[in-house]
Structure 1
Amino acid sequence: MGRVIEAHELTKRYGRTTAVNALSFSVRPGVVTGFLGPNGAGKSTTLRMILGLNAPTGGTVTVDGRPFRDLPRGLRHVGALLDAHDVHGGRSARAHLTALARSNAIPRRRVGEVLDEVGLTSAARRRIGGFSLGMKQRLGIAAALLGDPPVLLFDEPLNGLDPEGVLWVRGLFHQLAAEGRTVFVSSHMMTEMEHTADHLVVIGRGELIAAESLTEFAARGARQSVTVRAADPAALTAVLSAEGASVERREDGSCAVTGLSAARVSELAFEHRVLLHELTTETSTLEQAFMELTADHAEYRTGESR
């Protein structure tokens, strides 16, 4: 059922500003693919180019080998949630979905089905302007599902959802992928994708940083470091450095050691009669790996003057 999204050298410039630069990646069916990057990385621009809302300056992007604009009755081919606020606040949820169904030749019964699926049946006749952000996100997901499409795109879909809603959305994405659909989910938070995605496409400042499975990306964060506090930090640094370790002296007097296990650090300190006051092991998280990988590609960094 699923279809491949294929971007090749995709580029978008606005005057002298390059939002997306020679970006190439594939999104395949059967897995949830997370689209990660710091704010301002070019994720939303890329999604808009996939949907034909923005024309590329260069390169191509296709769905099942064709530009989205060439696909008749688009909601039957690709469902998308780009901005939960981009709806007419004076309409009811049912009226909004009914209009979309009519314009895409989708059976009207689908309106009731998707409202039920996202938990908005009781609010179907309420005006959207009175909805919370979480309810608008659910309505946007309902609109994406309306045409029962093989390809689904979501831009920051977890914003505004309560914990129950987050769990529901994660389960929904995995269910859609298990049905053989292509599911592409944008976020700037690694912690969200850690529990949602199977595969990752990571970009920064419009350029590709990584395209790999979550397992492969997790290996980047599988580094261990040892925090040690010694009576004589200089002596310990010399001992550990001679053994090939990397030692970083911190302002609080402790040392961060990489390249040696905690057990080996303890053995060396004992052999050279260096008294230790503290010895702990720290394992890098996926979030830390993501932050390190995208640090040079963030549009804004804390403490950076502009």
Structure 2
Amino acid sequence: MQVWTTARCGAGTASCTVARMIEARELTKRYGGTTAVNALSFTVRPGVVTGFLGPNGAGKTTTLRMALGLNTPTSGSVTIGGRPFRERPRGLRHVGALLDAGDVHGGRSALAHLSALARGNAIPRRRVTEVLEEAGLAGAARRRVGGFSLGMRQRLGIAAALLGDPPVLLFDEPLNGLDPEGVLWVRGLLRRLAAEGRTVFVSSHLMSEMEHTADRLVVIGRGELIASESLADFAARGNRRSVAVRTSDPAALAALVTSAGGALEPEDDGSYTVTGLSADRVSELAFERRVLLHEVTARNSSLEQAFMELTADSAEYRSGGAR
């Protein structure tokens, strides 16, 4: 992606960091008697990919909409570069965003849609061609958006977010509908944008993608902050440690593990997962009772495990087996 904007600051400088920060301070949004976001405070900084996580109904989309001036906070504030987004007359040159890939007139072509956005934000027309190529839509530029697949609409939404070459980017579930190649493209794009010194804030329900992409996390539940820290620190907060084992006598091992207060679960690859006991304790028990083990590997808590544990009380919906 070529840089055409002249108002660039040096990445890493204090003034540049402030100019690109997203700051929420005691941000609150109520709809009648329902509180969607409650006294939420966090900071998103440039140079890293920050994931925005929370169960369904946690208030993620409402928060992003308030950041973009689409919803008005009941109280508190959210600013981008120290100012509310509504104060920026040519917003796409400051902030690029994808909230709803379907929010495009189906009768327009991709080229017409982006061209209209470019004119309204005083963006050179050549940027339209550049972002269509970046998003892999150059060959479909003159097709009507109404005939696009969900994945193509996602690509068009990302192209629109990139149109103004902005220093701050917000994405709400950008991987919806994308095929594996598209997922890899978005993953690389987010990492590259952050490496260029931009602020990248992305919500997703795909924990595996956040593990591959995000450096930091903002996690909320029922509209309130649960964590704002590095991905590694958040994952380490999970209490569920496990041990991968392989044995030729799973029945004997299961009896040992159960008697010691642990649990043994079979995996599809022929191995077993032990929870509730450390790797050292599993080895000791097997040695004492002469149960042969071919593998004993300690596993740390994954991001998904930590997320499920730490947001359990904030989930709006639970399956029948969940507690």
With the shorter chain as reference, the TM-score category is: 0.7 to 0.9
Match of 1:94 in 2: 111
Closer, same or farther in 2 for the Cα pair 1:122/1:257, shift >3 Å? closer
Residue 40 of structure 1 deviates from its aligned partner by 1.2
Match of 2:278 in 1: 260
Q: Does 1:301 align with 2:318?
A: yes
Matches within 5 A, 1:85-124: 85-124=102-141
Q: Secondary structure at the match of 1:195?
A: helix
Residues 86-120 of structure 1 show CA distances to partners (whole Å, capped at 9, x for unaligned) of: 00000000110111111111111111111111111
How many residue pairs match? The answer is 293
- Mapped to 1, the partners of 2:147 and 2:207 lie a distance apart of 31
Contact 2:96 2:161 in 1 (8 A): yes
| AA partner of residue 62 (structure 1) | T
Closer, same or farther in 2 for the Cα pair 1:98/1:270, shift >3 Å? closer
Q: Does 1:46 align with 2:49?
A: no
Residue 219 of structure 1 deviates from its aligned partner by 2.0
Match of 1:132 in 2: 149
Matches within 5 A, 1:223-234: 224-226=241-243, 230=252
- Mapped to 1, the partners of 2:215 and 2:199 lie a distance apart of 12
- What are structure 1's unaligned runs of at least 5 residues? 241-246
Matches within 5 A, 1:1-306: 1=9, 3-221=20-238, 224-226=241-243, 230=252, 237=259, 240=260, 247-248=261-262, 257-258=275-276, 260-261=278-279, 263-268=280-285, 271=288, 283=299, 284-303=301-320
Provide TM-score, normalisation by structure 2.
0.82
Segment drifting more, 283-292 vs 90-99 = 283-292
- Mapped to 1, the partners of 2:86 and 2:34 lie a distance apart of 25
Residue 266 of structure 1 deviates from its aligned partner by 4.0
Q: Secondary structure at the match of 2:23?
A: strand
| AA partner of residue 291 (structure 1) | M
Contact 1:38 1:298 in 2 (8 A): yes
Closer, same or farther in 2 for the Cα pair 1:229/1:112, shift >3 Å? same
Residue 220 of structure 1 deviates from its aligned partner by 2.9
Segment drifting more, 110-119 vs 280-289 = 280-289
Residue 191 of structure 1 deviates from its aligned partner by 1.4
Superposed CA RMSD in Å reads 2.7
Contact 2:175 2:186 in 1 (8 A): yes
| AA partner of residue 220 (structure 2) | I
Provide TM-score, normalisation by structure 1.
0.86
Residue 224 of structure 1 deviates from its aligned partner by 2.9
| AA partner of residue 187 (structure 1) | S
- What are structure 2's unaligned runs of at least 5 residues? 1-8, 10-15, 267-271
Residues 52-106 of structure 1 show CA distances to partners (whole Å, capped at 9, x for unaligned) of: 0000111110011111111121111101000000000000001101111111111
| AA partner of residue 278 (structure 2) | L
Residue 223 of structure 1 deviates from its aligned partner by 5.1
Q: Secondary structure at the match of 1:302?
A: coil
Residues 186-208 of structure 1 show CA distances to partners (whole Å, capped at 9, x for unaligned) of: 11221121111111111111111
Q: Could you tell me the percent identity over the aligned residues?
A: 74
Residue 217 of structure 1 deviates from its aligned partner by 2.0
Q: Secondary structure at the match of 1:59?
A: strand
Closer, same or farther in 2 for the Cα pair 1:66/1:277, shift >3 Å? same
